[in-house]
Each structure stands twice: as structure tokens, then as C-alpha cells.
Amino acid sequence: MIRKKLFLMSLLKLIQEKLLVCLALMGLVRQHVSKFVSINFCNFKYEKKYSNLFFILFLIKVNAQNKLQLQKINSENKPWTYERANDHKNKFNFVVVADRTGGERKGVWQKGIEKINLIQPAFVVSVGDLINGYTEDLETIEAEWQEFNSFIKKLEMPFFYVAGNHDYTNEVMGNEWFKRFGTDYYHFLYKNVLFICLNSEYGHTATKNPDLGEDQVKFVKKILKKNANVDWTMIFMHKHHYCNN
């Protein structure tokens, strides 16, 4: 009996350590959670082993259930900031942000970030025109992306990048986009809702005859067919194509 108790305590201690590591990686460890888990195990009693184990399994199950299902992209850099939604049990909302460039007022975007953090949505999706662009100067492009990303770093939830004509004006800017984000179109799933993010600036159209190109059209058809049973499908891109031939 004593050996069995010691073995069980060792096993639960190991599970605790692994659990805390996983939670830390997912950015969900808060001070009160850490204390709760520690107290729970420090006050461990043999007759409570099943309730403690249930707590661990239940927590893992809840966290895994609402994780973002992200497209696999063959690049170290991704078109999103991080991989876990700011999840709420009884609600699901997200924020869409539009053009920041073209006569923006200084400080408005930063105030918007503060307001979004107060709302605490699951994540934020952009629809392009994040930097001024319209240049082939690499130093200017780098400086503009650094400025924009300094704002995005203050968000407390994931941010998804979508290209606009200001971000994808020419071949140089297109190459810089791929360097930073790995792809210009992708999809993800959350709570059985499909999100498709596209590049309406295919071919570096820069406001002239926006297009998706054949690859994106095939991609959309494939993803829609694969996810035919979702509750909703949301499509995000900078320009509409209603009037294109």
C-alpha cells in the first residue's frame, strides 16, 4: 500500500510538472493558476488522487478543445503572431481591423489596440494596408514593418496578417511579405468556423484590376470542400472582386 501510494504521488508529480510546462508554452499560466496547482498537489492526500487526476485531464481537454487549428506552412515565419486564441467559455468574438495607411491620424491605431485589449476578443484579423508601402527601398520597408509590428506586439491575443495594395505594391514588397509571413493566403479553424485569408493583390496589382490568380481559386475550392460541415465560413481580403470580369 505504501509503495502504491508513493508511486501514485510520483506519477502525479510528474504529470504536474509536464502540465505546467505545457501551460507555460501556451501562455496560459497565471499566478493564481500556478498557486492553485501547487497547493492542490502540496496538500495531496491519497484518498483525493482521483479528483486531482480528473482536474488535470479536464483542464487538458478544455484547453485542447478550443485551440486554433492553423494551416501548416512550410516556413519559420507565419502570417499570425501566435497560435492560441484568447478563449472564453461562453462567447466567441473577434475583431477585424482595416486600413491603417493613406492619411492616418497619428496615435489612433495605438488607441485602437488599447480598446481591443479591453474587449478581449479571441483574436484579431486584418484586411490589409498595414504599412504605407509603394516603395522598393528595403530600408523604408523594414522601418515601416518594424513600426507596425511594435503596435501589434501590444495585443493580448493573436493577430492575423492579410495583404493590401500598400503592403504588396511591387515585386520587392511581395518578396518582403513572403520573407516575413511565409505565405500570402491561408486558412484556419476555430470552434467549427472556417476563416480564409486571401491576397487580392496577386501579381502586384497595386489597385489596378485586383486578382486572386488560379492558385488561390483552387485553394479556396479545396478548403471549402474539405470543410463542408463548418457552421460558418468567413473570407478576408483587401479588395472585393464583385465587379471584375
DSSP 184-234: S-EEEEETTEEEEE--TBTTT-TTSS-B-HHHHHHHHHHHHHHTTT-SEEE
| Residue 2, pLDDT score | 55
Question: How many Å apart are CA 49 and CA 167, to the nearest integer?
Answer: 55
Per-residue confidence in pLDDT tens, the chain, 245 aa: 555 555 555 655 555 555 544 444 444 433 333 333 333 333 334 334 433 433 343 343 344 446 799 999 999 999 999 899 988 877 789 999 988 887 778 889 999 999 999 999 999 999 999 999 999 999 999 999 999 999 999 999 999 999 998 999 899 999 999 999 999 999 999 999 999 999 998 876 555 666 788 899 999 999 999 999 999 999 999 987 765 55
| Residue 212, pLDDT score | 84
Contact 89, 63 (CB under 8 A): no
pTM of the entire predicted model: 0.71
Q: What is the DSSP string of 72-100?
A: P-SSSS-SBS-S-----SS----EEE---
Question: How many Å apart are CA 35 and CA 2, to the nearest integer?
Answer: 28
Question: How many Å apart are CA 92 and CA 88, to the nearest integer?
Answer: 7
Question: How many Å apart are CA 225 and CA 245, to the nearest integer?
Answer: 25
| Residue 50, pLDDT score | 38
